[in-house]
């Protein structure tokens, strides 16, 4: 009863707010799954805040849905032959929401702030930078070593440019009322309820943003969020549950939008992190090969996610140019898995424990894998624990295998490879170490020639395929549901709505 009353109250509050705002021109109402943290691109860590910052802040570089770089505040950029200097030309005639100019000095201020601000969440993105200088409209970024992912970082929050004047005036409170140069300016925020932005009249490309006002509503309950969309009280919602995709597709007043950013969900095997790695899965790549053959990735996708995700066996999805096509996803073969275990001298069933984050879909996938593995000669136990607890357990090496787990919404393949596969990677909790993998992973970071870098990622896929320290399962597809009245929706390559060219019919 309480849950029903709560849902009714939330629906009523959205209706009341929509009525009060009806005189604001073309008004888009966007349903968020979580409240945002600080609306400061250098401190922010949540995807909800990044969605809002996409409306508020221009970035140095834009990333289209094909993962290609497009001009943003930087109209052009060039690398030095040694890959250690990046020169960007800043767009002329752009102003911040407070009327101050966007120029090379403002960009330098932002990069320096991201590197040095106490608590900066972007500092790790910029460790390769030695110094930043300016020359007229140009920003010159000099590096300690070549860093191919740097341009991709400037296409996300690291490249979101804020007003130096406003930042200096607000200090630590900047994120409460951010001032950027994007198509929309900040109006108000009510914690746990809404953030409101309105079109910036002096925006350099305002014709591409016909919507006058956007209200981001915080509605954590998936069911309530969808109910508000179906009733017409929201126009677009994020994080639609895959189980609700069919409902949306059958409704003529709604549309389903699925996007394919770089991400993966996987099983991370403890190879060398404490004594917990001393088990057949941790010691022997043949056992890991048998476990992979026990899995039916397509069935997992169909049953757990209504076929809305993408099954995969590499850090990037099969549609990615970085995918190594000579290593296609192996079909399930339980008989071959049993034979591999037998030939390796293991008495079946082979025991191992999987640490599972306590999330409904993760547990469902783990239970499916448990059933599949049992038919292939494994005795797989599940240890279901709160997600935050799994983080501390894996850092301490207190696990045999962990998953489904993985990075989300990356905009460069470096974010889904180096950090989990290089021996010094900050997400390599299984302490996997392979000198060949380290060498190739380092090359993917320093090679700035696009074709050579792509080949390096292909070589990396081949190098990791034998060890299977990370067993890739599937790639999540962020699902948006929206009113049929919305047209022209553009989504960035890392899975965020851009609001550019979006129209909402009345």
Domain count, the chain: 3
- Is the same domain home to 22 and 47? no
- Is the same domain home to 271 and 408? yes
pTM confidence score: 0.82
Q: Could you tell me if residue 84 is inside a domain? A: yes
Whole domain around residue 135: which residue ranges? 40-164
- Is the same domain home to 339 and 390? yes
Q: Is 308 helix (H, G, I), strand (E, B) or coil?
A: coil
CATH of the domain at 413: 3.10.105.10
Q: How far is CA 311 from CA 29, 260, 280, 354, in A?
A: 33, 12, 26, 20
Phi, psi of 255 (to 5 degrees): -135, 150
The first and second tokens of residue 429, run together, are: 């909790």
- The helix/strand count (H/E) of the chain reads as 16, 21
Query: Contact 191/35 with Cβ under 8 angstroms?
Result: yes
Q: Could you tell me if residue 178 is inside a domain? A: no
Name the burial class of residue 170, with classes exposed (0-12), middle (13-18) and buried (19+) by CB atoms within 10 angstroms of its CB. middle
3-state secondary structure string across 57-95: CCECEEECCCCCEEECCEEEEEECCCCCEEEEEECCCCE
- Is the same domain home to 425 and 299? yes
Q: Could you tell me if residue 78 is inside a domain? A: yes
Residue 80 pLDDT? 93
Of the candidates 136, 164, 192, which is a domain's last residue?
A: 164
Q: Could you tell me if residue 174 is inside a domain? A: no
CA neighbor of 179 nearest in space, from 164, 162, 194: 162
Residue 87 pLDDT? 98
- Is the same domain home to 92 and 192? no
Of the candidates 109, 131, 164, which is a domain's last residue?
A: 164
Q: Is 383 helix (H, G, I), strand (E, B) or coil?
A: strand
CATH of the domain at 202: 3.40.190.10
Q: Could you tell me if residue 368 is inside a domain? A: yes
Q: What is 390-412 written as a DSSP string?
A: HHHHHHTT--SEEEEE---SBSS
Q: Could you tell me if residue 171 is inside a domain? A: no
CA neighbor of 41 nearest in space, from 89, 93, 107: 107
- Is the same domain home to 96 and 229? no
- Is the same domain home to 126 and 92? yes
- Is the same domain home to 424 and 464? yes
Angle between helices 450-465 and 435-446 (to 10 degrees): 160
The helix (run of H) or strand (run of E) holding residue 187 is: strand 184-190
Residue 24 pLDDT? 61
Over the chain (506 residues), what is each successive 10-residue block's mean pLDDT?
45 45 77 94 91 97 84 96 95 98 98 96 91 98 94 94 98 96 98 96 97 97 96 97 95 94 95 98 98 98 96 95 96 98 97 95 96 98 94 96 91 91 93 98 90 97 97 96 97 89 94
Q: Write down the residue that tokens 């757990």 correspond to.
A: 304
- Is the same domain home to 326 and 408? yes
Q: How far is CA 20 from CA 27, 87, 213, 271, 482, in A?
A: 11, 48, 13, 58, 22
CA neighbor of 49 nearest in space, from 27, 34, 70, 71: 34
Residue 409 pLDDT? 80
What is the C-alpha separation between 265 and 361, in angstroms, rounded?
12
What is the C-alpha separation between 45 and 43, in angstroms, rounded?
7
Q: Could you tell me if residue 169 is inside a domain? A: no
Q: Could you tell me if residue 170 is inside a domain? A: no
CATH of the domain at 146: 3.90.76.10
- Is the same domain home to 28 and 157? no
- Is the same domain home to 278 and 422? yes
- Is the same domain home to 98 and 61? yes
């Amino acid at each position: 009863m309480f849950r029903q009353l709560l849902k009714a109250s939330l629906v009523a509050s959205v209706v009341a707010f929509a009525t009060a705002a009806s005189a604001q021109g073309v008004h888009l109402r966007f349903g968020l799954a979580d409240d945002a943290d600080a609306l400061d691109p250098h401190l922010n860590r949540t995807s909800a805040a990044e969605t809002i910052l996409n409306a508020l802040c221009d970035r140095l570089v834009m990333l289209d849905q094909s993962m290609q770089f497009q001009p943003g505040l930087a109209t052009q950029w060039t690398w030095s032959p040694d890959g250690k200097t990046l020169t960007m030309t800043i767009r002329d005639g752009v102003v911040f929401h407070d009327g101050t100019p966007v120029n090379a000095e403002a960009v330098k201020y932002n990069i320096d702030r991201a590197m040095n601000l106490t608590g900066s969440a972007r500092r790790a993105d910029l460790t390769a930078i030695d110094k930043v200088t300016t020359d007229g409209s140009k920003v010159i970024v000099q590096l300690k070593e070549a860093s191919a992912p740097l341009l991709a970082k400037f296409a996300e929050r690291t490249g979101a440019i804020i007003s130096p004047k406003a930042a200096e005036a607000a200090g630590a409170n900047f994120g409460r009322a951010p001032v950027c140069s994007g198509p929309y300016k900040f109006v108000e925020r009510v914690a746990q309820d809404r953030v409101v932005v309105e079109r910036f009249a002096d925006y350099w490309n305002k014709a591409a943003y016909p919507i006058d006002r956007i209200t981001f509503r915080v509605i954590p309950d998936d069911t309530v969020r969808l109910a508000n969309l179906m009733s017409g009280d929201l126009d677009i919602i994020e994080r639609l549950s895959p189980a609700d995709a069919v409902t949306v597709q059958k409704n003529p007043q709604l549309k389903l939008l699925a996007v394919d950013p770089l991400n993966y969900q996987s099983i991370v095997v403890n190879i060398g992190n404490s004594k917990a790695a001393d088990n057949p899965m941790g010691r022997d790549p043949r056992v890991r090969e048998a476990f992979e053959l026990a899995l039916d990735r397509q069935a997992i996708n169909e049953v757990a996610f209504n076929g809305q995700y993408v099954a995969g066996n590499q850090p990037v999805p099969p549609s990615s140019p970085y995918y190594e096509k000579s290593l296609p996803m192996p079909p399930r073969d339980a008989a071959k898995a049993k034979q591999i275990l037998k030939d390796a001298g293991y008495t079946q069933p082979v025991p191992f424990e999987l640490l599972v984050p306590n999330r409904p879909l993760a547990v469902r996938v783990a239970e499916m894998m448990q059933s599949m593995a049992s038919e292939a000669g494994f005795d797989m136990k599940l240890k279901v624990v709160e997600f935050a607890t799994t983080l501390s357990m894996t850092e301490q090496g207190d696990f045999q295998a962990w998953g489904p787990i993985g990075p989300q919404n990356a905009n460069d393949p470096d974010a889904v490879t180096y950090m989990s596969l290089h021996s010094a990677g900050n997400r390599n909790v299984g302490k996997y170490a392979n000198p060949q993998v380290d060498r190739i992973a380092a090359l993917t970071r320093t090679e700035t020639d696009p074709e050579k870098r792509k080949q390096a990622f292909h070589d990396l896929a081949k190098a990791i395929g034998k060890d299977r320290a990370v067993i890739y399962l599937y790639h999540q597809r962020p699902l948006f549901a929206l009113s049929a009245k919305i047209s022209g929706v553009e989504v960035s390559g890392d899975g965020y709505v851009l609001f550019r060219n979006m129209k909402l019919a009345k």
